[in-house]
Amino acid sequence: MSFRFGPRATIPGKVEVAAHQVDRMVPPGEPILYVTAGKDTWICGIWQRLLYQRTVACARGESPRFQQDVRDAEARLHPRWVVADPQVAGKLRWETRATLPSGVVLGTCAP
């Protein structure tokens, strides 16, 4: 049983729903910057797995290096689309933004 259901059981259902919503809304092939509210980066790995075939860069909103991590991701990938936990969405300069039914904020950031 654990071999059959274990890997899927490690993904929080709310995150899986949010990732599917994002995948449907963002044009194919577009890189995404994911901004997490927590200090742990494990959730970014989950997003990368759920959005496989896309490039997903990560930044931790609670990190002292947050602004630098965002600049590094922008320099490397030039992501237009950003997904953020609501707790850290206010730290970004948004051009467009919407809160999805799953609770995450999806939008584009101002240059």
pLDDT score for 1: 46
* Per-residue pLDDT band at 7 (split at 50, 70, 90): low
pLDDT score for 95: 94
Q: Which of 10-14, 63-67, 74-78 has the lowest mean pLDDT?
A: 10-14
Task: Flag whether pLDDT at 72 surpasses 70.
Answer: yes
Task: Flag whether pLDDT at 23 surpasses 50.
Answer: yes
In this structure, is residue 5 part of a structural domain? no
Task: Flag whether pLDDT at 71 surpasses 80.
Answer: yes
Given a contact cutoff of 8 angstroms between Cβ atoms, the answer to whether 34 and 95 are in contact is: no
In this structure, is residue 88 part of a structural domain? yes
In this structure, is residue 2 part of a structural domain? no
In this structure, is residue 62 part of a structural domain? yes
CB atoms within 10 A of CB 97: 14
Condensed to tens digits (0 to 9), the pLDDT of residues 34-67 reads 999 877 778 899 999 999 999 999 999 888 888 8
pLDDT score for 96: 95
Q: Which two tokens stand for residue 36?
A: 């997490």
Count the domains in the chain.
1
Q: How long, in residues, is the chain? A: 111
Range of the domain at 20: 12-109
Tell me which H or E stretch contains 49: helix 42-50
Q: Is 46 helix (H, G, I), strand (E, B) or coil?
A: helix
